[in-house]
């Protein structure tokens, strides 16, 4: 076969995956071409690439999802090949076909393989024909609502309703009883149509606490195929992967081999070329069932790279050029253990609501045997236009125990200030005793109370840190004789954090011997007194002891008029703490009759008519932001009136609807 060298590579993606592809291409001496939307003109992947090309407005449908704009960019920049990364058009057969018509290499499988595996119904039929185990269910052409209800009822519960063209957990609903079924079908179909342009569904038997195990496969154009072990991706929230690791813990050699061979059967069934991932569910008895095949590089590919000592992007490029696979199956021996967590701009304490904001400080001090793939820099603006994943943190160890310890240490040495994130939540998962004891399954988070998240302990620590910073700034800005006078009595202060006002009183009369006392009071808890000592302050970090326990707070502090703003990170948890004037009253939320936007986003649909009577808890509209659909519900019963229209882009805090109680409801 003719070898066609790739000299100019266009990356049809953004964020951390675009930066990661650029890194490998540069090592191979390939010129990299970034594409970007108007919202991404200052993005890190644009800064890192050799060349860049604007492909349209911020909306993904007019830029990163526009086949016409991407093909035009590839032809104008004389690209030899296009790497699609993951997400966006990475599994779009029409995109691969469009590039082929212009003699541009698509770094991925054939359009036929993408189309087959991209349709879960067709893929399941192909797996049955190939002899790969599949879950019982329905994947037929009849998509009538009543027919799906009847078929699901006949199957029995629990079942999984899944988007036929989907991925990433979107368009997927677990149904445990018949009364949930109709709403689940409607909701899954709507989300699938909005996300993938295809509302077709399939039904599958749901397993109880299965493990999600996937196999990395690779095939070249010469007929060679290998599998690079398996990854465990069982730690999931809303069917979205949170923690991934390789190899999968607690699998015996027989099951590992059977999984790898089944994955190769799946790839061979569609003449697959390139990198792919075959995903399985594994039950408690070790039986496994085909779930889906992703015809692209996976988000979690770094753990496989770390365990096998390979560069999968370099492999992709070599295969696309027509070269044979760099290694044979016998050469692929895993070594050690690797774990990855996904850093998201989200608020775990508020149902993981996506967050926006400007990064005030990003720092990730790389420790031995760790890796951070990211898109961040000081001043970067996280918007609502794209997926909220910002980075991936990976650690390798000779043993799983060592990998866990290194990962926790790397999380503790990673700082992100200015935008809400989930680092503290991730730390709580990998530091959990059950995780360390390898008790992983898809129900892990809910079983161990990690489906919700509280920062109460760290909240007190954050308030103490803010008080210390304010005290030290106050002392620094005063002449020495006034500073001593300032310490003659406890200093009261009020702070706003998480929409609640906390009173504090700092008694620094023992400051000369390096101690002080902080009292914290709130409407939600009894007053607490904390003894603080061993305070050490730099421009970026505050170290102090609470009752002889050492704590490190990363911070960024600024002042607007008389208000002090402190961005803090403690134990991975981010806080924004603001000083407030107690005489001015506390900040208040919207009244019950008002429904406001929890973040910037687009109104996807209005679910009730103007002037309709609704009950408390009824869903009024769907807001979409960062690839997530958020139902906006009525807070009380009454007559609804809307302050927005379908398709409108709204800002965080904007009033979306008002529910006005009737006379009978107010009496």
Q: Which of 178, 160, 308, 148 is nearest to 236 (CA)?
A: 160
Window from 117-131, 217-231, 240-254, 360-374 with minimum mean pLDDT: 117-131
Digit-coded pLDDT (tens) for 545-589: 998 899 999 999 988 777 889 999 998 999 999 988 755 443 433
CATH of the domain at 149: 3.30.1490.20
CATH of the domain at 620: 2.40.50.100
Question: Do 469 and 557 contact (CB within 8 A), yes or no?
Answer: yes
- Residue 627 pLDDT: 62
Confidence of residue 489 (pLDDT cuts 50, 70, 90): low
What is the Cα–Cα distance from 485 to 478, expressed in whole angstroms?
10
Interval 172-181 mean pLDDT:
90
Cα angle, residue 20 at apex, residues 94 and 215 outer, rounded to 5°: 70
Interval 109-118 mean pLDDT:
94
Question: Do 416 and 343 contact (CB within 8 A), yes or no?
Answer: yes
Tokens of 623: 């807001």
The residue among 187, 205, 223 that closes a domain is 205
CATH of the domain at 439: 3.30.470.20
Cα angle, residue 603 at apex, residues 628 and 644 outer, rounded to 5°: 150
Three-class DSSP labels, 62-114: HCCCCHHHHHHHHHHCCCCEEECCCCCCCCCHHHHHHHHHCCCEECCCCHHHH
- Residue 187 and residue 67 share a domain: no
What is the Cα–Cα distance from 134 to 276, expressed in whole angstroms?
18
- Residue 363 and residue 230 share a domain: yes
Question: Do 200 and 192 contact (CB within 8 A), yes or no?
Answer: yes
- Residue 24 and residue 157 share a domain: no
What is the Cα–Cα distance from 662 to 593, expressed in whole angstroms?
11
The residue among 417, 447, 477 that closes a domain is 447
The residue among 205, 232, 251 that closes a domain is 205
Query: Is residue 124 within a helix (H) or strand (E), and if so which, with residue range?
Result: helix 120-130
Tokens of 232: 């465990």
- Residue 293 pLDDT: 94
Digit-coded pLDDT (tens) for 350-372: 889 899 999 999 999 899 999 99
Confidence of residue 456 (pLDDT cuts 50, 70, 90): low
Query: Is residue 56 within a helix (H) or strand (E), and if so which, with residue range?
Result: strand 51-56
- Residue 396 and residue 298 share a domain: yes
pTM of the model: 0.84
What is the Cα–Cα distance from 525 to 502, expressed in whole angstroms?
10
- Residue 141 and residue 239 share a domain: no
For residue 129, what are the contacts with CB-CB under 8 A and spacing of at least 6? 269
Pinpoint the alpha helices (H) of 309-359. Answer: 312-320
CA distances from 213 to 19, 69, 507 (A): 27, 36, 55
Question: Do 532 and 468 contact (CB within 8 A), yes or no?
Answer: yes
User: Is there a domain that residue 190 lies in?
Assistant: yes
Share of the chain above pLDDT 70, in %: 93
- Residue 461 and residue 393 share a domain: no
- Residue 626 pLDDT: 65
Question: Do 65 and 49 contact (CB within 8 A), yes or no?
Answer: no
Range of the domain at 622: 594-666
User: Is there a domain that residue 129 lies in?
Assistant: no
Confidence of residue 595 (pLDDT cuts 50, 70, 90): confident
- Residue 434 and residue 490 share a domain: no
CA distances from 253 to 281, 336, 396, 610 (A): 17, 16, 21, 61
Interval 25-52 mean pLDDT:
98
- Residue 367 and residue 486 share a domain: no
What is the Cα–Cα distance from 353 to 421, expressed in whole angstroms?
10
Query: Is residue 194 within a helix (H) or strand (E), and if so which, with residue range?
Result: helix 178-196
Residue 522 CB neighbours (<10 A) = 18
Judged by phi (left if over 0) then psi (alpha if -120 to 50, else beta), residue 514 lies in: left
User: Is there a domain that residue 527 lies in?
Assistant: yes
User: Is there a domain that residue 114 lies in?
Assistant: no
Domain count, the chain: 5
Tokens of 274: 């390139």
Sign, CA torsion 301/307/308/314: positive
Interval 467-495 mean pLDDT:
70
16 pLDDT higher than 60: yes
What is the Cα–Cα distance from 63 to 54, expressed in whole angstroms?
8
Task: Concatenate the DSSP letters of all residues of 143-175 into one string.
Answer: --HHHHHHHHHHH-SSEEEEETT--TTTTEEEE
- Residue 402 and residue 460 share a domain: no
User: Is there a domain that residue 119 lies in?
Assistant: no
Question: Do 426 and 341 contact (CB within 8 A), yes or no?
Answer: yes
User: Is there a domain that residue 122 lies in?
Assistant: no
Q: How far apart are the first and last CA of the chain?
A: 83
Q: Which of 235, 141, 573, 607 is nearest to 430 (CA)?
A: 235
Q: Which of 121, 256, 296, 406 is catalytic?
A: 296
Interval 177-202 mean pLDDT:
87
User: Is there a domain that residue 543 lies in?
Assistant: yes
> Chain-wide mean pLDDT for the chain?
90
Q: Which of 376, 355, 389, 385 is nearest to 37 (CA)?
A: 385
Residue 133 CB neighbours (<10 A) = 14
Window from 280-289, 483-492, 627-636 with minimum mean pLDDT: 483-492
User: Is there a domain that residue 653 lies in?
Assistant: yes
Burial of 180 (C-beta count, 10 Å sphere; 0-12/13-18/19+): middle
- Residue 494 and residue 426 share a domain: no
Q: Highest-confidence range of 46-50, 538-542, 543-547, by mean pLDDT?
A: 46-50
φ, ψ of residue 42 to 5 degrees: the values are: -105, 15
What is the Cα–Cα distance from 171 to 266, expressed in whole angstroms?
24
Q: Which one-letter DSSP state was computed for residue 360?
A: S
- Residue 119 pLDDT: 84
What is the Cα–Cα distance from 67 to 61, expressed in whole angstroms?
9
Tokens of 96: 């691969």
- Residue 300 and residue 234 share a domain: yes
Digit-coded pLDDT (tens) for 326-342: 999 999 999 999 999 99
Interval 476-481 mean pLDDT:
56
Tokens of 561: 């008029």
Known active-site residue 296: yes
- Residue 511 pLDDT: 77
Interval 460-467 mean pLDDT:
90
Q: What's the CA dihedral at 417, 422, 425, 427 to 10 degrees?
A: -70
- Residue 23 pLDDT: 98
What is the Cα–Cα distance from 28 to 40, expressed in whole angstroms?
26
What is the Cα–Cα distance from 510 to 488, expressed in whole angstroms?
10
Residue carrying structure tokens 């009595």: 489
Confidence of residue 117 (pLDDT cuts 50, 70, 90): very high
Residue carrying structure tokens 């000299």: 7
Instruction: Give the number of residues written for the chain.
Output: 667
- SS3 of residue 569 by DSSP: strand
Confidence of residue 452 (pLDDT cuts 50, 70, 90): confident
CA distances from 431 to 178, 368, 400 (A): 38, 19, 13
Question: Do 185 and 164 contact (CB within 8 A), yes or no?
Answer: no
- SS3 of residue 306 by DSSP: helix
Digit-coded pLDDT (tens) for 620-630: 998 887 666 77
Confidence of residue 38 (pLDDT cuts 50, 70, 90): very high
Question: Do 548 and 515 contact (CB within 8 A), yes or no?
Answer: no
- Residue 271 and residue 347 share a domain: yes
């Amino acid at each position: 076969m003719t070898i066609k060298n790739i000299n100019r590579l266009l990356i049809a993606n953004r964020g951390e995956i675009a930066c990661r592809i650029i890194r490998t291409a540069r090592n191979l001496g390939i010129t990299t071409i970034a594409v970007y939307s108007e919202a991404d003109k200052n993005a890190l992947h644009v800064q890192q690439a050799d060349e860049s090309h604007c492909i349209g407005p911020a909306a993904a449908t007019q830029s990163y999802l526009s086949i016409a704009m991407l093909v035009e960019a590839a032809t104008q920049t004389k690209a030899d090949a296009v790497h699609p990364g993951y997400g966006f058009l990475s599994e779009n057969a029409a995109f691969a076909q469009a590039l082929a018509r212009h003699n541009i290499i698509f770094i991925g499988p054939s359009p036929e393989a993408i189309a087959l595996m991209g349709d879960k119904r067709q893929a399941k039929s192909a797996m049955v024909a190939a002899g790969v185990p599949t879950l019982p269910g329905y994947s037929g052409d009849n998509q009538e609502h009543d027919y799906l209800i009847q078929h699901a009822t006949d199957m029995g519960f629990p079942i999984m309703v899944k988007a036929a063209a989907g991925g990433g957990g979107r368009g997927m609903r677990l149904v445990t009883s018949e009364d949930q079924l109709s709403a689940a079908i409607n909701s899954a179909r709507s989300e699938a149509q909005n996300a993938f342009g295809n509302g077709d569904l399939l039904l599958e038997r749901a397993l109880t606490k299965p493990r999600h195990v996937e196999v990395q496969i690779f095939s070249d154009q010469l007929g060679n195929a290998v599998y690079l072990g398996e990854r465990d991706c069982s730690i999931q929230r809303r069917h979205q992967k949170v923690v991934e690791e390789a190899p999968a813990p607690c699998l015996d050699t027989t099951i590992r081999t059977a999984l790898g061979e089944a994955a190769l059967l799946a790839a061979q069934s569609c003449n697959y070329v390139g990198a792919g991932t075959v995903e399985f569910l594994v039950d408690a008895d070790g039986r496994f069932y085909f779930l889906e095949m992703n015809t692209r590089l996976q988000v979690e590919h770094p753990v496989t790279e770390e365990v096998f000592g390979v560069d999968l992007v370099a492999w992709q490029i070599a295969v696309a050029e027509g070269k044979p696979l760099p290694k044979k199956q016998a050469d692929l021996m895993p070594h050690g253990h690797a774990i990855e967590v996904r850093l998201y701009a989200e608020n775990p304490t508020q149902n993981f609501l996506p967050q926006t904001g400007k990064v005030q400080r990003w720092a990730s001090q790389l420790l031995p045997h760790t890796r951070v793939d990211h898109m961040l820099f000081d001043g970067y603006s996280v918007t609502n236009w794209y997926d909220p994943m910002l980075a991936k943190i990976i650690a390798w160890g000779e043993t799983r125990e060592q990998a866990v310890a290194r990962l926790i240490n790397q999380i503790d040495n990673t700082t992100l200030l200015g935008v809400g994130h989930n680092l503290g939540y991730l730390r709580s998962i990998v530091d959990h005793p059950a995780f360390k004891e390898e008790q992983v399954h898809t129900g892990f988070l809910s079983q161990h109370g990690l489906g919700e998240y509280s920062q109460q302990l760290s909240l007190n620590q954050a308030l103490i840190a803010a008080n210390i910073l304010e005290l030290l700034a106050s002392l620094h800005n005063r002449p020495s004789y006034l500073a001593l006078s300032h310490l003659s009595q406890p200093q009261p202060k009020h702070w706003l954090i998480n929409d609640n006002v906390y009173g504090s009183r700092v008694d620094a009369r023992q400051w000369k011997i390096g101690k002080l006392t902080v009292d914290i009071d709130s409407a939600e808890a009894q007053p607490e007194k904390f003894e603080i000592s061993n305070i050490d302050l730099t421009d970026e970090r505050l170290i102090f002891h609470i009752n002889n326990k050492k704590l490190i707070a990363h911070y960024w502090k600024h002042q607007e008029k008389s208000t002090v703003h402190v961005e803090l990170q403690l134990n991975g948890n981010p806080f924004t703490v603001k000083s407030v004037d107690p005489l001015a009253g506390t900040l208040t939320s919207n009244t019950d009759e008002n429904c406001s936007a929890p973040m910037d986003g687009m109104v996807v649909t209005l679910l009730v008519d103007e002037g309709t009577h609704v009950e408390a808890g009824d869903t009024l509209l769907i807001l979409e932001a960062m690839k997530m659909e958020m139902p906006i519900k009525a807070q009380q019963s009454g007559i609804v009136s809307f302050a927005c229209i379908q398709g409108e882009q709204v800002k965080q805090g904007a009033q979306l609807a008002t529910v006005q109680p009737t006379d009978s409801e107010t009496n």
